Amino acid sequence: MTERLHNWAGNLTYGAARVEYPTTVAEVQRLVAGTARVKALGSRHSFSDVADTTGTLVSLRNLNRVVAVDREQRTVTIEGGITYGELGPVLDAAGWALPNLASLPHIAVAGACATGTHGSGDRNGGLATSASALEVVIADGSLVQFSREQDGDRFDGVVVALGALGVVVRLTLDLVPAFAVRQNVYEELPLAELEARLDAITGSAYSVSLFTDWQGPVIQQVWLKQRVSDDAPDEAPPAFYGATPATRELHPIGRLPADSCTAQRGVPGPWHTRLPHFRPDHTPSSGDELQSEYFVPRAYAGGAFRAVLALREALAPILQISEIRTVAGDTLWLSPCEGRDSVALHFTWSSDRTRVERVLPRLEEALQPFAARPHWGKVFTLAPGSLRALYPRLPDFRRLSADYDPSGKFRNGFLERYVTGI
Ligand SMILES: Cc1cc2nc3c(=O)[nH]c(=O)nc-3n(C[C@H](O)[C@H](O)[C@H](O)COP(=O)(O)OP(=O)(O)OC[C@H]3O[C@@H](n4cnc5c(N)ncnc54)[C@H](O)[C@@H]3O)c2cc1C
């Protein structure tokens, strides 16, 4: 018997009977056309069963080239299997950058865009907002091109699509000129300061991440990622809203060594080596974990913080660390930040699924008054009806998926529960 494939965290064994690793787009087309149930697989970093199928998983890991950089249009076209870790250095060497990255570079660009993956920064949208065109192998095996320019509103439905429309074999992403970033970490920011001065604090750097275990009214670590520019000071200020500069490099989970983390202490470096928290050649985060994340409209952040803090005793035995980030609102139909500038509350749990799933309903109930949308790629227990009510464009997305996948070839249990119905 062949061994079944697992996701990165090991909490999910995919139900797929077969896993295919095509090397050409034509092969992807043949595979999709000739298979009744199929699903694209990225780098397997989702904790939920969003990428699962009972049919055939199609991994594009062998289709991972940079196709072209268009200097005039300021775009890059890539194949559907490339990871941010593979793409970043190539772009940087050519003088270009992506505006933002997630906490880890290990993830596939197509897989990240498909779930609305994000980094941080008041003015930075989720990673999918950089996509300006996609080439997708749809259910009948044909290749369809979508672009922001030609498809307008419909394109907003196609980018964060949870693999429901087909296999994305090429993406075109907007670029910005390459830039350098300094990363400084501060310790012990009073939570009251964060609540009182949220805009000033999250707006104080290009990307701001706040780490806490919620066991006291304090943010244990503040990570400030500042773009290096002529008018930005070289020196980090000696205090930050009551927090003090870290005197050594830190891992967000304080007990772990920082060698898996990107360089701190203000040392400037290329964007792709500072925007993620973790280095591409190391295990990101703790490696033994589950994750959840909830997005609330920015205006509700203070209430959401207090609601989580009130659950600290329930969180304590299973929480490794929590991260608070900000994400600019967007127009992508299934993006968790659709229509709202958001504050994302992330939870790195222990890998004890039973205990995590016992706490999640309490956390979700506490966050429910704040219209919290769960991350599609992380674990949640929210009832399907409650989740669907949080996405005003979901009915449009259902119609889109019925148009491109009438027989439900790309559907799986996750989509049937939360998005398309059976
Ligand atoms: C340690 C760790 C840290 C994380 N940090 C962050 C973070 O900072 N921010 C954040 O938002 N999330 C974060 N995540 C979650 C992660 O970014 C998402 O789950 C993301 O979707 C993973 O991408 P993947 O390529 O592994 O996708 P998979 O898990 O392989 O697939 C996810 C979805 O994408 C679809 N898909 C993949 N490839 C294609 C394709 N070519 N065509 C069509 N559909 C496709 C799949 O069908 C599936 O629906 C983290 C996860 C881990 C494990």
**Which residues, 6 or more positions from 399, have their beta carbon under 8 angstroms from its beta carbon?**
none
- Choosing from 177, 201, 236, the residue where a domain stops is 177
Phi, psi of 239 (to 5 degrees): -145, 155
Report if residue 1 sits inside a domain.
no
> pLDDT per residue over 47-66, tens digit each?
999 999 999 999 999 999 99
Clarify whether residues 147 and 265 are in a common domain.
no
Q: How confident is the model at residue 158 (pLDDT cuts 50, 70, 90)?
A: very high
pLDDT of residue 236 exceeding 90: no
Mean pLDDT, to the nearest integer, of 348-365?
A: 97
CB of 382 shorter than 6 A to ligand 1: no
Q: 308 CA to middle of ligand 1, Å?
A: 25
CATH value at residue 121:
3.30.465.10
Give residue 116's identity as a one-letter amino acid code.
G
Q: 243 CA to middle of ligand 1, Å?
A: 33
> pLDDT per residue over 182-207, tens digit each?
999 999 999 999 999 999 999 999 99
CB of 387 shorter than 6 A to ligand 1: no
Report if residue 416 sits inside a domain.
no
Mean pLDDT, to the nearest integer, of 155-163?
A: 98
Show the domain range for 98: 66-177
Mean pLDDT, to the nearest integer, of 3-15?
A: 94
What is residue 229's predicted lDDT score, i.e. its pLDDT?
84
Report if residue 78 sits inside a domain.
yes
The mean pLDDT of the chain is 96
pLDDT of residue 336 exceeding 80: yes
CATH value at residue 241:
3.30.70.2520
Is residue 186 within 8 A of residue 244, CB to CB? The reply is yes
Clarify whether residues 121 and 218 are in a common domain.
no
Report if residue 141 sits inside a domain.
yes
Clarify whether residues 194 and 334 are in a common domain.
yes
What is residue 294's predicted lDDT score, i.e. its pLDDT?
98
pLDDT of residue 407 exceeding 70: yes
CB of 285 shorter than 6 A to ligand 1: yes
Report if residue 60 sits inside a domain.
no
Q: How confident is the model at residue 421 (pLDDT cuts 50, 70, 90)?
A: confident
Percent of the chain with pLDDT strictly greater than 90: 96
* Nearest atom in ligand 1 to 136's CA: 42
Report if residue 144 sits inside a domain.
yes
- Choosing from 123, 155, 177, the residue where a domain stops is 177
pLDDT of residue 310 exceeding 70: yes
pLDDT of residue 129 exceeding 90: yes
CB of 336 shorter than 6 A to ligand 1: no
Q: 82 CA to middle of ligand 1, Å?
A: 12
Q: 13 CA to middle of ligand 1, Å?
A: 16
Clarify whether residues 172 and 208 are in a common domain.
no
> pLDDT per residue over 63-114, tens digit each?
999 999 999 999 999 999 999 999 999 999 999 999 999 999 999 999 999 9
pLDDT of residue 256 exceeding 90: yes
Clarify whether residues 280 and 218 are in a common domain.
yes
What is residue 1's predicted lDDT score, i.e. its pLDDT?
47
pLDDT of residue 338 exceeding 90: yes
Clarify whether residues 205 and 137 are in a common domain.
no
Q: How confident is the model at residue 2 (pLDDT cuts 50, 70, 90)?
A: low
3-class secondary structure per residue, the chain: CCCCCECCCCCCECCCCEEECCCCHHHHHHHHHCCCCEEEECCCCCCCCCCCCCCEEEECCCCCCEEEEECCCCEEEEECCCEHHHHHHHHHHCCEECCCCCCCCCCEHHHHHHHCCCCCECCCCCHHHHEEEEEEECCCCCEEEEEHHHHCHHHHHHCCCCCCCCEEEEEEEECEECCEEEEEEEEEEEHHHHHHCHHHHHCCCCEEEEEECCCCCEEEEEEEEEECCCCCCCCCCCCECCEEECCCCCCCCCCCCHHHECCCCCCCEEHHHCCCCECCCCCCCCCCCEEEEEEEEHHHHHHHHHHHHCCHHHHCCCEEEEEEEEECCECCCCCCCECCCEEEEEEEECCCHHHHHHHHHHHHHHHHHHCCEECCCCCCCCCHHHHHCCCCCHHHHHHHHHHHCCCCCCCCHHHHHHCCCC
pLDDT of residue 308 exceeding 70: yes
Query: What's the sign of the alpha-carbon dihedral 278, 283, 286, 291?
Result: positive
Choose one of 46, 104, 348, 380 to mutate for the ligand 1 pocket test, by most ligand atoms within 8 angstroms of C-beta.
46
Choose one of 21, 56, 98, 107 to mutate for the ligand 1 pocket test, by most ligand atoms within 8 angstroms of C-beta.
107
Clarify whether residues 133 and 185 are in a common domain.
no
Largest CA distance in the chain: 62
For residues 153-183, b (16+ Cβ closer than 10 Å) or e, as one string? Answer: eebbbbbbbbbbbbbbbbbbbbbeebbbbbb
CB of 106 shorter than 6 A to ligand 1: no
CA distances from 83 to 34, 269, 297, 384 (A): 27, 20, 29, 31
Report if residue 56 sits inside a domain.
no
Mean pLDDT, to the nearest integer, of 230-237?
A: 74
CA distances from 136 to 66, 114, 364, 404 (A): 17, 12, 35, 10
Report if residue 422 sits inside a domain.
no
> pLDDT per residue over 266-294, tens digit each?
999 999 999 999 999 999 998 999 999 99
Clarify whether residues 295 and 238 are in a common domain.
yes
What is the count of structural domains for the chain? 2
Query: Quick one: which of 295, 291, 289 has its CA closest to 387?
Result: 295
What is residue 420's predicted lDDT score, i.e. its pLDDT?
87
What is residue 346's predicted lDDT score, i.e. its pLDDT?
98
- Choosing from 177, 193, 213, the residue where a domain stops is 177
Clarify whether residues 233 and 287 are in a common domain.
yes
CB of 104 shorter than 6 A to ligand 1: yes
Clarify whether residues 128 and 205 are in a common domain.
no
Clarify whether residues 309 and 191 are in a common domain.
yes
Clarify whether residues 146 and 258 are in a common domain.
no
The pTM for the full model equals 0.97
